[in-house]
Amino acid sequence: MQHLNSILIGYRVALGIHDIAEPFDFWNPGTQGDFSEWLWQRLGRHSSLGWATEIERDAERLGRPGMEMFFELLDEFRTSNHQLRDESETSIRVREEAQQPLASD
């Protein structure tokens, strides 16, 4: 069951060893992180076993590879996260433009 978790930890360690700066939304030591919070909302549950175990359990139940399911969820998270960020930036920009004085003659 810990196969997915082990692979992702190894990937994270390799990034650090090679000084590769890459968004790592799904694992931040000591914190739940944005991905896990999003995933718990997406799945409608929480688990003390962690998100990797829950993804593997769901994948096994559905007869799918856990890693494939993880990357599909990560893509969905990043898409929804970018959409929220874009909407937020647009909202801020509109408010800033509304606060600027109009050019007078």
Place of tokens 């700066």: 21
Instruction: Supply the pLDDT for residue 4.
Output: 75
Q: What is the DSSP annotation of 68-93?
A: HHHHHHHHHHHHHHHHHHHHHHHHHH
Residue 100 CB neighbour total at 10 angstroms: 7
Q: Is the per-residue pLDDT at 13 higher than 70?
A: yes
Average pLDDT value over all residues in the chain? 76
Residue 24 CA to residue 11 CA, distance in Å, equals 10
CB-based contacts of 70, cutoff 8 Å, min separation 6: 4, 8, 52, 55
Q: Dump pLDDT digits (tens) for 18-59.
A: 888 776 666 666 566 788 889 999 989 888 888 888 899 999
